[in-house]
Amino acid sequence: MLVLKLALRNIIGAGLRTWLNVVVLSLAFVLIVWTQGFIQGMQEYSQRALIDTEVGGGQFWRPEYDQYDPLTLEDSHAPLSPALRKLVNDGSATSILITMGTIYPGGRAMPALIKGIDPSQKALNIPAGMLGRVSDGDIPGLIGQRMAKTTGLREGDFVTVRWRDVGGTFDAADIRIAAVVITDMPTIDQGQIWIPLERLREMLRTPGEATLVVVDKDTATVPEAGGGWIFRDQEYMLKEIVEMVKSKMVSTLFMYSLLMFMALIAIFDTQVLSIWRRRKEMGTMMALGMMRSRIVALFTLEGALHGFLAVVAGAIYGLPLFMLSKKYGFPMPDVVDDWGFAIPQKLYPSYGAVLLLGTTLLVLVSVTLVSYIPSAKISRLKPTDALRGKMT
């Protein structure tokens, strides 16, 4: 207790030197928590959006299907197995048929994925119901805002689409854009056009077939599909996004390391200077019977208290900042669209207990360690040398 009282008195007595260290360290602490909160918020949002609009409760794939290789689409379609048909009829899943085609917006040829979806489906958060807006025999199409921007298409426009049917024969038709959907998900938007499933089945001459079947996220038990269909669960489907966010976290590690390094160097410097200037004080304490280990503890504690004060100071101005960020979010620039996963227009951070406690612990432990390293020298100090102001 004596050591703690002494340490507190000493660092408060150090005045501006202490507060400068505390401010620098607290800035590093707050910035780390704030940025990590945004990255966590981004991951949580992306996963949620991916589940809602694409992954659902998992997907059934054809064995040939590779979501990153459109060339596999040609062979990746088959009729639904009885189990899948039942799942779809119950409303617990929805079928999606995909083919590669070419669209001609304004007479310019562009490759595009043509996706067929049931307009009445409820398994995915895609406004497929808008496909019902066009009822006069035209083929209705749904595109996202990125696709609309790339192609210059707007609601009500017609666009010519060319595709090949199951036998490889070309066919072409005009699709009328029923709606342009605003979505954060580039994976259901860029380079694709959604049309009613049954129309696409007719166009490809593949009645009753699908490329994949998406299970509703609330479906409790997923049955065996049979018929060669392979189930890809949520974990499998979200693997990429988790990896991608991890890599973003690793890239921000450099920034954290730099911030912490600057703050810790300041603490280290303060400690070295403090030990050098207080040699006689240490000698006096030893002469009065204070054990070297207690003196080491005193100096280490003085350093460590910088960390504690930094956490307290960080909490004073950081907590309101975190709460405001959580409440109002942070507007994201357009450039993040190119990251390849869902980023909302406003990103809301997520500050979990693990993040807050983990960062606090990181700050306290590293400050204590940095404070101990110069203090350890005291254990080899002779009281006589110390009293004469010598440091060996």
Partner 1 sequence: MKRFTLLIILILAAACAAQGEDYPDGEEILRKVDENLVLDRATGISVMIIHARSGTRTIKSRFWVRGDSESFVEYISPARERGKKMLKLGDRLWTYAPEPADRIITISGHLLRQSVMGSDLSYEDMMENDRLVDLYDAKITGVEEIDARECWVIEMVSKGEEVAYHSRRVWVDRERYLPLKEERFARSGRLLKTTSIKEAFQIDGRWYMKRAIFKDMLSSGEGTEYIIEEIDFDVEIPDHIFTRASLRK
Q: Which residues contact partner 1 (rule: CB under 8 A)?
A: 70-71, 73-74, 100, 102, 104, 106-109, 111, 160, 162, 164-165, 167-173
What is the identity of the amino acid at 275? Answer: I
Given its phi and psi angles, is residue 107 left (phi above 0), alpha (psi -120 to 50 degrees) or beta? left
Cβ-based nearer residue to partner 1, 64 or 240: 64
CB of 168 to partner 1, least distance (A): 5
Burial 25-40 (b: 16+ CB within 10 A, else e): bbbbbbbbbbbbbbbb
| Residue 124 DSSP class | S
CB of 163 to partner 1, least distance (A): 9
d(CA 55, CA 91) in angstroms, rounded, equals: 16
What is the identity of the amino acid at 204? Answer: L
Of the candidates 227, 130, 134, 243, the one whose C-alpha atom is nearest the C-alpha of residue 179 is 130
Cβ-based nearer residue to partner 1, 5 or 108: 108
Question: Cα 322 to chain center, whole Å?
Answer: 17
Cβ-based nearer residue to partner 1, 114 or 381: 114
Burial 294-319 (b: 16+ CB within 10 A, else e): ebbbbbbbbbbbbbbbbbebbbeebe
Cβ-based nearer residue to partner 1, 162 or 232: 162
CB of 55 to partner 1, least distance (A): 25
Cβ-based nearer residue to partner 1, 11 or 203: 203
Containing 140, the helix (H) or strand (E) segment is strand 139-144
CB of 87 to partner 1, least distance (A): 29
Cβ-based nearer residue to partner 1, 19 or 158: 158
CB of 59 to partner 1, least distance (A): 22
CB of 314 to partner 1, least distance (A): 49
Containing 88, the helix (H) or strand (E) segment is helix 82-89
Q: Where are the alpha helices (DSSP H) in 138-233?
A: 145-151, 197-204
Cβ-based nearer residue to partner 1, 207 or 289: 207
d(CA 23, CA 26) in angstroms, rounded, equals: 5
Neighbours of 62 (CB within 10 A): 21
CB of 192 to partner 1, least distance (A): 14
Q: Which two tokens stand for residue 264?
A: 């810790």
In 182-294, DSSP assigns E strands to: 192-196, 209-210, 212-215, 230-232
CB of 139 to partner 1, least distance (A): 11
CB of 214 to partner 1, least distance (A): 23
CB of 73 to partner 1, least distance (A): 7
d(CA 152, CA 248) in angstroms, rounded, equals: 32
**Residue indicated by tokens 């004060």:** 309
Of the candidates 76, 92, 101, 120, the one whose C-alpha atom is nearest the C-alpha of residue 212 is 76
Cβ-based nearer residue to partner 1, 104 or 348: 104
Cβ-based nearer residue to partner 1, 64 or 281: 64
Cβ-based nearer residue to partner 1, 171 or 243: 171
d(CA 10, CA 302) in angstroms, rounded, equals: 7
